Chains A and B, each alone.
Chain A
Amino acid sequence: MSELSADRDWSQRLHAGDESALREAYRAHASAVLGLAVRVLGNATIAEDVMQDVFVRLWEKPDGFDPERGRLRSYLLAMTHSRAVERLRAEESQRRRLVDAGRQPATVADSDPVNAIAAHDAGIAVRRVLADLPEDQRTAIEMAYFGGLSYRDVAVALEEPEGTVRYRIRSGMQKMRAALQAEQVSRP
């Protein structure tokens, strides 16, 4: 079954209240969801809470996911990132200001964007482009995404104008988007 077919099947069954659909979706995507939450939060316990929130939300509000608009993996990871960043900012606002990006439960080898996870061709294409980006673009994207930082925070951390950071992130993201779309077009 293709990813799209699986997503459509899960969507229908989640709407119907089929518990087994939730279990299947959990088993397919929980590792990615937890991986991202740990990466952003740097704390496995809080990351598990975020993961639970994400799957509870998927079950409680199945209308939030539309398989015709995007993949379930993307939907879950976007929700995971959003909630992790919310938790991060809530905690950090009570502590010292965060200046860095990183929380990465990866082996050193895994930190290489090309050698990390090779689950999908599309993922490989995106990671290859990421690895080939100029370092200033890649660093800005990683700090914003994995660090949960606003552009202003990234600019402060890098001691660069906010407009420069915005330009770097935009340039890098557009390249990765183009690579992903090219991969999807070329896929049979």
Chain B
Amino acid sequence: MTERRDAEDLAIERALDAASAAETQGADAQAVEDYRDVLAHMPVPEVTPRAELEDRVIAAALQRRPAAVPSLAGRRTRRYRQFRVAALAAATVAAAIVVGVMVDNGNSGSPVPHGHVTLAALQHSDIDALLRSPGARRGGFVPAPARVVIAPDGNAAVYDIKGVDAVSVGLVSAGGTTLVGPARPDGGAIAFVVDHPERVTAVTIVRNGVEIARAGLKSA
């Protein structure tokens, strides 16, 4: 296994942003482009931006550099805005219906929670602190012998994991399941942070894209 980094290594490292440009001097420029093209095809689920973001982004761009073709853009934008007014009106009606249905189901139709792992070395005392957090919710996985705790501030951990294989943690909510990981358990635990912990109704353990265990959450 050589530690020598040739131009190919440097190109890959640059494309992955795994090292700075200064650290990857000598990378073949075309190879970097090729690998960036490869990475552009990695499996990333698309996330539709909130509708109002388009105007926010365009306005921010135009602040930096005014449009030189305002008439064409203006006409299209006006048409688009007219379309949006009609679309938004229709969407409002549809949303009212959806909200009505969700209220019936006791579901607020909220953002899907996302999370990321922040584990260096989780100690038992860290888990104990999470378990003692007022409002913390916990659960036991079935069939795997592992447990999960999620504190109201979003700090969370899956612990008592048997095995050392890298796994992902699935955050189940009304909006679907989002994955955190893969991560290799450290001391049988994976710590993570969730941005909307109150939305998480259950947690899963996923290995190679397959759910292998699930835990419902209950108040401690």
Q: Do A and B come from one complex?
A: yes
A78 interface hit (Cβ, 8 Å) = yes
Whether the Cβ atoms of A108 and B177 lie closer than 8 Å is yes
Name the distance in Å between B58's Cβ and chain A's nearest Cβ: 6
Q: How many residues of B contact A (CB 8 A)?
A: 83
Whether the Cβ atoms of B67 and A176 lie closer than 8 Å is no
Whether the Cβ atoms of B44 and A56 lie closer than 8 Å is no
Whether the Cβ atoms of A35 and B45 lie closer than 8 Å is yes
Main secondary structure of the interface of A (DSSP, over half): helix
Name the distance in Å between B108's Cβ and chain A's nearest Cβ: 16
A151 interface hit (Cβ, 8 Å) = yes
A151-185: CB near B (< 8 Å → 1, else 0) gives 10010011101111011011001101100110000
Contact of A149 with B18 at beta-carbon distance under 8 Å, contacts A16-B68, A19-B73, A104-B178 already known:
yes
User: Complex formed: what's the CA distance from A176 to B76 in Å?
Assistant: 40
Pick from A23, A39, A71, A122: contact of B58, CB below 8 A: A23
The size class of the interface chain A forms with chain B is 35 or more
Q: Which residues of B contact A150 (CB under 8 A)?
A: 18-19
Q: Which residues of B contact A18 (CB under 8 A)?
A: 67-69, 72-73
User: Complex formed: what's the CA distance from A126 to B39 in Å?
Assistant: 9
Whether the Cβ atoms of B166 and A59 lie closer than 8 Å is no
User: Complex formed: what's the CA distance from A156 to B177 in Å?
Assistant: 28
Whether the Cβ atoms of A100 and B68 lie closer than 8 Å is no
Closest to A101 in B: B182
Whether the Cβ atoms of B43 and A102 lie closer than 8 Å is no
Whether the Cβ atoms of A74 and B178 lie closer than 8 Å is no
Q: Which residues of B contact A167 (CB under 8 A)?
A: 1-2
Whether the Cβ atoms of B47 and A35 lie closer than 8 Å is yes
Whether the Cβ atoms of B77 and A20 lie closer than 8 Å is yes
User: Complex formed: what's the CA distance from A130 to B2 in Å?
Assistant: 24
Whether the Cβ atoms of B9 and A166 lie closer than 8 Å is yes
**Chain B CB within 10 Å — which of A58, A111, A125, A181 has the most?**
A111
Q: Within A57-107, which residues are at the interface with B (CB < 8 Å)?
A: 58-60, 69-71, 73-75, 77-78, 81-82, 85, 92, 95-107
Whether the Cβ atoms of A85 and B17 lie closer than 8 Å is yes
Whether the Cβ atoms of B44 and A71 lie closer than 8 Å is no
Whether the Cβ atoms of B69 and A127 lie closer than 8 Å is no
B42 interface hit (Cβ, 8 Å) = yes
Pick from B183, B209, B211: contact of A100, CB below 8 A: B183
Whether the Cβ atoms of A51 and B57 lie closer than 8 Å is yes
Name the distance in Å between B2's Cβ and chain A's nearest Cβ: 7
7 further contact pairs, Cβ within 8 A, besides A22-B61, A102-B183, A123-B41: A19-B77, A23-B58, A51-B53, A102-B116, A106-B45, A145-B42, A181-B34
Complex A-B, nearest 9 residue pairs according to Cβ-Cβ distance, in ascending order: A17-B68, A19-B73, A42-B116, A100-B117, A100-B183, A116-B43, A102-B181, A31-B46, A126-B41
A sample of 22 cross-chain residue pairs with beta-carbon separation below 8 angstroms, ordered by A number, consists of A20-B76, A20-B77, A23-B54, A23-B77, A44-B195, A51-B57, A55-B57, A77-B39, A97-B120, A99-B120, A100-B192, A102-B117, A102-B181, A104-B168, A106-B43, A108-B177, A111-B168, A111-B209, A112-B209, A113-B42, A139-B182, A157-B184
Binding site for A on B (CB under 8 A): 1-3, 5, 8-9, 12-13, 15-19, 33-50, 53-54, 56-58, 60-62, 64-70, 72-74, 76-77, 80, 111-112, 114-120, 166, 168, 170, 176-184, 186, 190, 192-193, 195, 204, 206, 208-209, 211
